[in-house]
Amino acid sequence: MIKKLTLLIVVILFLSAQQGISQEWLVPADKQSIENPSDYNLENVKKGKDLYMTNCKSCHGDAGKNNSLALVPLPPDIASETMQANSEGSLFYKLSNGKGLMPAFETTLPEADRWLLVNYIMNYSPDNTPVWVDLPPVKARLKATVNTVNRLVEIFAEAENKTGNYSNLTETPVNVCVERAFGNLPIGQVLTDNEGNAEFSIPENIIGDEEGFVTVVVSLGEDFEAKKVTVEKLKIGIPKETPKLIKKGVIWSTNENIPMWMLLSYLGAVGGAWLAIIYVVFQIVKIRRLSKE
Amino acid sequence: MEMNKIESPEESRKLLDKIVFDLTRSIVKKDELTRFWFFILIVFAGVGLWGWAIQIDQGLGVTGMRDYVSWGMYIANFVFFVAFSLVGFLISSAMHLLNIHWVKPISRVAEQVAIAGVALAGIIIVMDMGRPDRLLNVFLHGRFASPIVWDLTVVTTYLTISVLLFYIPLIPDLALLRDRLGDEVPKWKMKIYTILSLGWKGNAKQYKTVYHAMRVLMILIVPVGLSIHTVTSWLFAATLRAGWDTTIFGPYFVAGAFVAGVAAVIILMYIYRIRHGLQEYFEDIHFDKMAKLLVFVSLVYLYFNVNEFLVPGYKMKTAEGIHLSNIFSGGYSLMFWSVQISGLILPTILLLFKFFRKPLSLVIISVVVLATAWLKRFIIVIPTMEHPFLPIQNVPENFHHYAPTSIEIMITLFSFCAAILIISVLAKFFPVITIWEYAEEKGIDKKYLSEQPKN
């Protein structure tokens, strides 16, 4: 108990110390003033955004939404004042070297990518005009059918345009998943063509339920507001193997597959004993009857 | 059958009167000591029941049993009571069928032990359950291939047979009590005798039916009696645990049961002899014979013990080795060696001498044998559970070892008091020796038994 308490105190001290230090995460002056070698433009910001989505979002959350992970210290939102108070050089230094729970990305990302991330953060700087604007999701419609013979998911997508009418959704990624017990498992992504159509070829090695049935879920990305299409009970998977826990004929089986000799021995022994007991009880009745003679 | 027929009717009647008087004195007599005895038993049993109420209210957490040792003192106690009850099978059936005459006066004592033992064994199993109401699930969802179901079946069957084997030879005695006790017992007691004696007249056909029914039961109890303790041993032996994974557990348990049961019967015989003044009935010769029987069953049990411990001890397989070191030289060594030496080896040697086969010294030895028999069951059940095949880790310290809590001791105390209470009630209500059988052995013709006494 005392050990646990000590550990708890140490952890609390360590975390609060970190929080204290984080507010004054000092960056050497020469590092602060390094200039970003890549240009601040839409292309670079978009690349930075993709990198952010895979490497940073899990802790820092969506820009401007203040939905970062509840860690101590709290990972700041990239659009926040705390984050934007840093110079580009400081941002690069911090995300390269890391501190505490913040990983040192110089071990995982090339220098160019780290500068692209800085570009994406700078998109939210009060001093810059944003080149990338997060638009509200577009209303879209999705249709999908599954051809079990050719093992193809045939998709058609359309989205609402500025005039309020629906037109074909072109060159847009569509996600294909299969339903699993605890969520959807992504099995691939496909781009729509100029007519809003897409075809996804289902892999051969999808495992289904005991009979091989699979449920396919087709959806659009986060930029669209569209209902997912769920196609149930498709015979396109490999039947799931469910090994029988108790094989037939095992001596310790359940009643469903108890060996016949075992059942008969038990019932025979118990039945025999109780028949004899009933016979003896009958003898008692007989003794009583004989008293009246 | 040696039958020294007494020819003179007067002599027969006189002897029968004396036998009936001697054997019913304890039933008729009202004394403070008996009342106090019942009072004490009921109070202590009540305390134990209170412990059970606490356990039902708060759950099995009040016991010392945890995830690893999930069979504790209750199961050890259960095995002890099943063992204790098996003497009914040995004395009132096996030895009767072998026509061993000297056991006849002892058979009712053995049946008292059998009934008390097996009844309590059943109750203890329910007391070991955190949710006793779920006993019903054994009947609803039990598997026919499960030793637990077999055990429940065989305990119920043995209890029924033991009650019948107690009752049927009692019927002629009940008629004697009905005819002879008159005003000496309260009316309600007389009513019980009247109802239970089934209007017994003592005609030849009735005796024939009694003999026949007794014979059927004695034969029936041989397989059932063997099964009850063999199945109890299978509860352990059918699992893959070090110390239990052995093929001789059935006979090992049966042999051990005879040792415990014979000791229990000797103690009861001695108590009846002293308390009820039955020196002429439980004679020195009976104690001498019982002592020899105890030596015999102890030697058989010793033989099984040598097999049970020497063979795996010679090999010391990994898991078995850990278990055996624990009981040979580890934490259980003191208990183990004192049980083996003072409960088995020493009594066997001492009882080879005539001096120790005398009633008083024999009963002292029997008390030691019975107490160590209880501890032996503790050693059979608990150390194995403290050594699972997967190491015990990341659990609170109190999961590592088992020690019974006061609630467990209270409930175990209940079982002892309840068992003694059953025996005491049976001894207070019915003669401790089968009168008609005893009279017959003494050469009194059956016709005198059904005569109405002239007061």
Q: How far is A8 from chain B (nearest CA, A)?
A: 18
Nearest to A287 among B144, B157, B210 (CB): B210
ipTM of the complex: 0.91
Residues 64-103 in A contacting B (C-alpha not used; CB under 8 Å)? none
pLDDT in tens, A20-77: 444 578 889 888 888 889 888 888 998 999 899 889 998 999 888 888 888 888 899 9
Q: What residue numbers bound the domain in which A103 lies?
A: 25-122
Does residue A18 belong to any structural domain of this protein? no
Cα distances from A149 to residues A146, A152, A201, A218, in angstroms, run 9, 8, 11, 19
Name chain A contacts of B166, Cβ cutoff 8 Å: none
Does residue A6 belong to any structural domain of this protein? no
Does residue A250 belong to any structural domain of this protein? no
Domain C-terminal end among A94, A122, A150? A122
pLDDT in tens, B390-420: 888 888 888 888 999 999 999 999 999 999 9
CB A175 within 8 A of CB A221: yes
Q: Report the alpha-carbon angle A180-A183-A184, nearest 5.
A: 70
Does the distance separating the beta carbons of A269 and B164 come in below 8 Å? no
**Per-residue pLDDT, B2:** 46
pLDDT in tens, A135-158: 788 889 999 999 988 999 999 999
Nearest to B157 among A273, A279, A291 (CB): A273
Question: Quick check: helix, strand or coil at residue A195?
Answer: coil
First to last CA, chain A: 82
Q: How far is B269 from chain A (nearest CA, A)?
A: 29
**Per-residue pLDDT, A256:** 82
- Mean pLDDT per segment of 10 residues, for chain B of length 455 residues? 64 88 88 92 94 94 92 95 91 90 92 94 92 89 90 93 94 91 87 93 91 94 92 92 92 95 96 92 94 96 95 92 93 95 95 94 96 95 89 84 93 95 94 91 83 61
Domain boundaries, chain B: 239-386
Same domain as A117, residue A32: yes
Question: Quick check: helix, strand or coil at residue A235?
Answer: strand
Pairs of residues, one from chain A and one from chain B, whose beta carbons lie less than 8 Å apart = 83
- Taking the C-alpha atoms of residue A282 and residue A275, their distance in angstroms, rounded to an integer, is 10
**Per-residue pLDDT, A20:** 47
Q: Report the alpha-carbon angle A250-A253-A257, nearest 5.
A: 90
Which is it for strands A173-180 and A197-201: parallel, antiparallel or unpaired? unpaired
Residue type present at position B353: F
Nearest to B160 among A258, A277, A293 (CB): A277
pLDDT in tens, A2-27: 666 666 676 666 665 555 444 578 88
Does residue A31 belong to any structural domain of this protein? yes
Nearest to A96 by CA among A122, A81, A115, A120: A115
**Per-residue pLDDT, B181:** 86
Nearest to B403 by CA among B388, B422, B383, B387: B383
Does residue A155 belong to any structural domain of this protein? yes
**CATH number of the CATH domain containing A37:** 1.10.760.10
Does residue A154 belong to any structural domain of this protein? yes
Among chain B, residues having any CB pair with chain A shorter than 8 Å are 143-146, 150, 153, 157, 160-161, 164, 167-168, 171, 198-201, 203, 205-206, 209-210, 212-213, 216-217, 220, 223-224, 227, 238
Does residue A248 belong to any structural domain of this protein? no
Same domain as A153, residue A91: no
Interface test with B, best of A262, A290, A293 (most B CBs within 10 A): A290
Same domain as A206, residue A149: yes
**Per-residue pLDDT, A252:** 83
Token pair, residue B398, equals: 């109190």
